[in-house]
C-alpha cells in the first residue's frame, strides 16, 4: 500500500525539500531514515565527510492516515523522497524501502538529552566556522603539487576540523555541517529570512556518548568517541 504523509502546511514540505536538496548535493545516492510518530516526522541523513548525523523534523497534520497506522519507520532514497514532495498540497509519498547504510541502524536516543555547557554564541560559532574554512582553503592551496596527497589533506583536515567549539567537546566540523545543511542561522546557505533570526540561540545537548547541536532549523549529532576519526570536509 502506498503511504503518504500530510504536512502541517506547505512550508513544512518546502523546508524538508530544501534539506534534501542540500543533502543530495553531497551525496547523489543518499538514503534517509524516516521516523513518524504522533505529529512529527524526523528525517535522518548522513552527509559524507562531515561524519555527523543530520536531523530535520517536520510537523505533520495527519500522521496516522493514508497507510500509516501506528508509526512510520523506514529507510528510503533521499532523491525519491524529494521527487515525491508536493509543496502545494503539503504532502509526500513515502518511497519503497531500501537497504539502509550502517549508520541508519545506530541513531541518537530519542530522549534523555541534557544541556551541555561550553558552546559559544551563535555569532561566535559562525565566526569560528568561517575562520576554519578560510584556514583549510589557505593551507591546502598552499601545498606544493608534490605535497598534495590525500594523506596531507586529511592531516590538515584533522587539525582544522577537530578543534573544539569554545569550551565544549563539539568539534568545529559539526557546526560546519550545520552550516552546509542550512541549519545555522545567519549564513548564506541558511533558511529564508522569514524564519528565526540570525541571533536565534543554539543549544548543545548530551545523552550518553552522543552530542547534539540543536538549532532552530535542525540538528546534527555525533558520538564523542568518533571525534578523532576525521576526513577532509568540503569547504
For the chain, give every domain's residue range.
Answer: 3-105, 116-204
Query: pLDDT at residue 125 above 70?
Result: yes
The pLDDT score that the predictor gives to residue 63 is: 54
Return the DSSP state at 109: P
Residue partners of 197: CB distance under 8 A and separation at least 6: 185, 186
Instruction: List Cα–Cα distances, 48 to 62, 108, 131, 134, 226, in angstroms.
Output: 33, 18, 21, 20, 14
Q: Find the mean pLDDT for residues 184-197.
A: 54
Query: pLDDT at residue 164 above 70?
Result: yes
CA proximity to 170, closest of 217, 120, 136: 120
The pLDDT score that the predictor gives to residue 224 is: 84
- Residue 24: other Cβ atoms inside 10 A: 19
**For the domain with range 3-105, which CATH number is right: 1.10.10, 3.40.50, 1.10.3470, 3.10.150?**
3.10.150
Q: Find the mean pLDDT for residues 13-24.
A: 97
Cα dihedral angle (4, 36, 43, 117), rounded to 10 degrees? 160
Whole-prediction pTM: 0.85
Return the DSSP state at 7: B
In this structure, is the dihedral angle defined by the CA atoms of residues 127, 128, 134 and 135, taken in order, positive or negative? positive
Amino acid at each position: 500500500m502506498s503511504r503518504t504523509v500530510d504536512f502541517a502546511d506547505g512550508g513544512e514540505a518546502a523546508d524538508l525539500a530544501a534539506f534534501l536538496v542540500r543533502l543530495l548535493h553531497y551525496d547523489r545516492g543518499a538514503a534517509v531514515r524516516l521516523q513518524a510518530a504522533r505529529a512529527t516526522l524526523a528525517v535522518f541523513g548522513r552527509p559524507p565527510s562531515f561524519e555527523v548525523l543530520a536531523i530535520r523534523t517536520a510537523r505533520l497534520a495527519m500522521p496516522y492516515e493514508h497507510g500509516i497506522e501506528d508509526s512510520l519507520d523506514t529507510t528510503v532514497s533521499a532523491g525519491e523522497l524529494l521527487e515525491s514532495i508536493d509543496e502545494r498540497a503539503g504532502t509526500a509519498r513515502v518511497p519503497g524501502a531500501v537497504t539502509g547504510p550502517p549508520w541508519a541502524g545506530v541513531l541518537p536516543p530519542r530522549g534523555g538529552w541534557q544541556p551541555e555547557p561550553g558552546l559559544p554564541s551563535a555569532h561566535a560559532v559562525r565566526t569560528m566556522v568561517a575562520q576554519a574554512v578560510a584556514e583549510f582553503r589557505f593551507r591546502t592551496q598552499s601545498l606544493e603539487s608534490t605535497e598534495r596527497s590525500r594523506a596531507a589533506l586529511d592531516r590538515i583536515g584533522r587539525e582544522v576540523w577537530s578543534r573544539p567549539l569554545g569550551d565544549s567537546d563539539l568539534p568545529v566540523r559539526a557546526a560546519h555541517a550545520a552550516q552546509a545543511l542550512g541549519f545555522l542561522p545567519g549564513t548564506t546557505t541558511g533558511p529564508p529570512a522569514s524564519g528565526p533570526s540570525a541571533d536565534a540561540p543554539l543549544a548543545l545537548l548530551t545523552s550518553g556518548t552522543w552530542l547534539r547541536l540543536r538549532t532552530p532549523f535542525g540538528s546534527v549529532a555525533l558520538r564523542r568517541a568518533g571525534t578523532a576519526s576525521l576526513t577532509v570536509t568540503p569547504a
